[in-house]
Amino acid sequence: MKKINLTIFVIILSGFCFPLLSQENKLIVKTEEGKDTISKYIYGHFAEHLGRCIYDGIWVGEDSPIPNTRGLRNDVIEALKGINLPVLRWPGGCFADSYHWKDGIGPKENRPPIVNMFWGNVTEDNSFGTHEFLDLCEILGTEPYIAVNVGSGTVKEASEWVEYVTSDNDNPMSRLRKQNGREQPWKVKFWGIGNENWGCGGNMDASYYASLYKRYATYCRAEYRIASGGLNDDPAWTETVMNSTKNHQDLIQGYSYHHYTVCNTWEKKGSATNFDENEWFKTISKNFQMEENLKEHMAIMDKYDPDKKIGLYADEWGNWHDVEPGTNPGFLYQQNTLRDALTASIYLNIFNNHCDRVKMANIAQTVNVLQAMILTEGSKMIKTPSFYVFKMYKVHHDALLMPLEITCEDYVLNNQRIPALSASASKNKEGQINITIANVNPEKSIPTDLTIDNEKYRVTGSEIITADKMNAYNDFDKDEMVYIQEFKSYKQKGNNIQVTLPSKSVVLLTLSEK
């Protein structure tokens, strides 16, 4: 047993273990020390032209027998409204750097088809383009985040896209937009300048991309321009981009960071549903390890941007498992279990606790791809365990981060150990304090002593996400196995709350003034 900071989560020791110092698990919420706001954009999402995310998942076309609004699936829209989607990133991903936006505007019968060279080599008819995406965002009440084509595009193409979407001046692009049926410009403030340009975005080196970024950003007149980050294990890329833009900070408002959790190897990642406790532990430990990697990149940003004017945008993250048997390997379709719910909780707690620098995060992806919120099968739709975590965590949107002090036992397996608990807390505009806690041990309930440093608060709401089995998931034509339920395993006396956190669970406690 040892006392840990929220920023030091992963302790995987080989041949050496620290002794447990105490049997108590404690959380202390410091209600008067909050100073940073948890941006709602940390709860963003990512929708790429990949597999069945867009086509079948979001877009079915106006003539589909599946109920739709201007071609957009009604059931998916209603589900996404339930998690208050704050921002949606599109069209990629790798697809972004092969996408030419003018192919996706105007009458659908005149739009040329495109072969999706990165994801399955399937042909798309371009029926879902800029207007359809921004229509979706307006229906959802979400802000768009558009990634422009740097890898195979041009500065002129990118700058014209920004102008087409946002300009209210009289110019060729605004005229073209009006010709295509949209009189008023859209309000799109987030623009990514390329994606993964170290790889599918052009196989560039850092210095070349940094110079190219400044050129694109100069002509893409947007409120927030986001630079493409390197591999998560490549801090040199971050160093190069930050150093190159240090005298041009008017051109960069965000820096992209990607982190995927792969249980085994990239060649054989492991099943999304058929796994044992060893794979559970490996996945959860790698979730925790993300924080140390994140801190390494943030430290470099701090060196060049000590005032934290440039946000870190974790605009791709989540678990990456093997595709479901019998599905197209290029479509990245995977099921989603209670393990993925715990992953979402850990990542979101980490992002919350670093909200002074992390200003956006976009889970990959929204529908039918990777750690999705929603899965569809023809006219059928299900909400995944990860969906319910995002629904539970809505309470943190634009709330004031409350610092936490945590002392917890370890979850130990095969002489390796990680903290058993992950948590974050915030105070909303109504003065309520919301505390989210994950118990990652799949076998053991953990009694926890929760202290609020102010006696005026009492528990007024409580929820839990858990299931009997660690690989429980929601499936078509079956009752849901993983969802939000009422939580009752706590007792409050004064400013102390005794909570028993069930194994493999995510818990929300809401406190209001007495």
From 354, 353, 323, 321, select the one nearest 340 (Cα to Cα). Answer: 321
**In a domain? residue 245:** yes
Token digits of residue 57: 């998942």
Strands (E), 249-393: 254-261, 311-319, 358-364, 374-377, 380-383
Cα–Cα dist 273/323, whole Å: 10
pLDDT score recorded for residue 235? 96
Are the beta carbons of 286 and 263 closer than 8 angstroms?
yes
Which CATH number is 67's domain given? 3.20.20.80
Distance, in Å, from the CA atom of 115 to the CA atom of 108, rounded to the nearest integer, reads: 16
- Concatenating the DSSP letter of every residue in 462-504 gives EEEE--SSTT-B--TTS--SS-EEE---EEEETTEEEEEE-TT
> Residues near 66 by Cβ (< 8 Å), separated by ≥ 6?
60, 73, 75, 378, 379
DSSP state at residue 132: H
**286 — alpha (psi -120 to 50), left (phi > 0) or beta?**
alpha
Cα separation, 76 vs 79, whole angstroms: 5
- Does residue 240 lie within any of the structural domains? yes
Residue in 29, 1, 91 with CA at minimum distance from that of residue 366? 91
Q: What residues pair up with 415 in beta bridges, in sequence order?
A: none
280 close to 442: Cβ distance less than 8 angstroms: yes
pLDDT at residue number 15: 31
- 415 is a domain residue: no
The DSSP code for 428 is: -
Structure tokens at 202: 């052009």
User: Kindly report the CA angle at 126 between 121 and 130, in degrees rounded to 5?
Assistant: 125
pLDDT of residue 32: 87
Residue 312 Cα distances to 14, 224, 238, 254, 350, angstroms:
33, 12, 11, 6, 13
In-domain check, residue 118:
yes
Map residue 224 onto helix, strand or coil.
Answer: strand
Closest C-alpha among 388, 315, 333, 326 to residue 55: 333
Q: Could you tell me if residue 355 is inside a domain?
A: yes
Q: What is the pLDDT of residue 514?
A: 80
- CA-CA distance, 140 to 123, in Å (whole number)? 28
Instruction: Give the number of domains in the chain.
Output: 1
Strands (DSSP E) contained in 190-268 are 190-193, 224-227, 254-261
In the prediction, which pLDDT does 23 show?
A: 52
DSSP-derived pairing of the beta strands 190-193 and 399-401? unpaired
- Record the tokens describing residue 230, joined without a space: 């390197």
Q: What's the predicted TM-score (pTM) here? A: 0.93
For residue 114, the Cα-to-chain-centroid distance in whole angstroms is 28
Catalytic residues: 196, 316
Q: Other C-beta atoms within 10 Å of 77: how many?
A: 17
* In-domain check, residue 475: no
Q: Is 315 helix (H, G, I), strand (E, B) or coil?
A: strand
Residue type, 375: L
175 φ/ψ angles, rounded to the nearest 5 degrees: -65, -40
Q: Count the neighbouring beta carbons within 10 Å of the beta carbon of residue 113.
A: 10
- Chain centroid to CA 479: how far? 27
CB neighbour list of residue 465: distance below 8 Å, 6 or more residues apart: 338, 341, 385, 388, 389, 392, 482, 483, 484, 485, 505, 506
| Range(s) of the domain holding residue 321 | 37-400
Assess contact for 27 and 511: CB atoms under 8 A: no
* Composition of the chain by helix, strand, coil, percent to 5: 25, 30, 45
Residue 227 lies in a domain: yes
In a domain, 65, yes or no: yes
- The answer to whether the CB of 137 falls within 8 A of the CB of 82 is no
Q: Kindly give the confidence (pLDDT) of every residue in the chain, 514 residues in length, as a single tens digit, with 9 standing for 90 and above.
A: 333 343 333 333 333 233 333 458 999 999 989 999 999 999 999 999 999 999 999 999 999 999 999 999 999 999 999 999 999 999 999 999 999 999 999 999 999 999 998 998 999 999 999 999 999 999 999 999 999 999 999 999 999 999 999 999 999 999 999 999 999 999 999 999 999 999 999 999 999 999 999 999 999 999 999 999 999 999 999 999 999 999 998 999 999 999 999 999 999 999 999 999 999 999 999 999 999 999 999 999 999 999 999 999 999 999 999 999 999 999 999 999 999 999 999 999 999 999 999 999 999 999 999 999 999 999 999 999 999 999 999 999 999 999 999 999 999 999 999 999 999 999 999 999 999 999 999 999 999 999 998 878 999 999 999 999 999 999 999 999 999 999 999 999 999 999 999 999 999 999 999 8
**Phi, psi torsion values for 239, nearest 5 degrees:** -60, -45
How many C-beta atoms surround the C-beta of residue 14 within 10 A? 7
How much is the CA Rg of the chain, to the nearest whole Å? 23
